[in-house]
Amino acid sequence: MDFIFSKKLHLFNVYFSDFLRFTKLYFWLKCIILPPKKSMKRHYFSILFFIRKTKLLKNGEAPVCLRVTVDGQRFEIQIKRSVNLNNWDHKKGFAIGRDAKSMELNHYLEVVRTKILRIHRELEQDNKPITSQTIIRIFNGKSETDKMLLSFFREHNIKCRELIGKNYVLCTVLRFERTVKYLSEYIQFKYQLSDIPLKNLDNSFVTCFEHFIKTKKNYAC
């Protein structure tokens, strides 16, 4: 992934000259870096709640487990709830009874189900890889932190500065650093943020950044 991001940043800078030829930059971003999103692939997806009858807890109850299956691959976890063996409907996957404990458990199962469905839907909408393990990791709050544009860009520039005289010349690195400076000012101006996720870099971002450079920095293409 770092190689892909480095390629994005490198191409972004190649077309950032003193006169900012954004016509070419836009073309390359649109045709090479930012191809149209592919249509969403539909996955077989299911959610199941079940109990482990062979691994009873000290209180004699069975732990309740969650199984998420995507395209035949399944991943299971315990959800920190338990139930009496006689109070569980194995076919429907919920507790039997109108007592407070059974009703609380069933309510919690619906909350978990709703959250899993939302995670799956968001992964589909973002065209991200969908696996049962990924869904469970996000459910447990272990999703990967988004890479940030300016943060990654600055790391890229530090490495480039270390290679002056080998792979880069000083004026090129200074141009890279000027790009970061203007991007930082634009992000603060447009979004009132110190940085944005790399995944938010799209054609609209580039054209708006071009407008910012022309109007606020007095550059002409």
pLDDT of residue 30: 42
Look at 25 and 48; give whichever has higher pLDDT. Answer: 48
The predicted-structure confidence for 26-51, as pLDDT tens digits, reads as follows 444 444 344 444 445 567 899 999 99
DSSP symbols for 9-44: HHHHHHT--TT--HHHHHHHIIIIISPPPPPPPP--
Which helix (H) or strand (E) segment is 88 a member of?
A: strand 88-89
Domain boundaries, the chain: 2-37+145-216, 45-126
219 — phi, psi (to 5°)? -95, 150
Lowest mean pLDDT among 29-38, 129-138, 162-171: 29-38
The predicted-structure confidence for 141-164, as pLDDT tens digits, reads as follows 876 566 788 888 888 889 989 999
pTM: 0.52
pLDDT of residue 168: 86
Residues with Cβ < 8 Å from 184, sequence gap 6 or more? 150, 194
Between CA 221 and CA 213 the distance in angstroms is 10
pLDDT of residue 201: 75
Q: Which residue has the tokens 């944005």?
A: 196
The predicted-structure confidence for 175-200, as pLDDT tens digits, reads as follows 888 888 888 999 999 888 888 887 77
pLDDT of 81 over the 90 cut: yes
Cβ contact 62:87 at 8 Å? no
Write the burial class of residue 80 (CB in 10 Å: 0-12 exposed, 13-18 middle, 19+ buried). exposed
The predicted-structure confidence for 202-220, as pLDDT tens digits, reads as follows 778 888 888 888 888 766 5
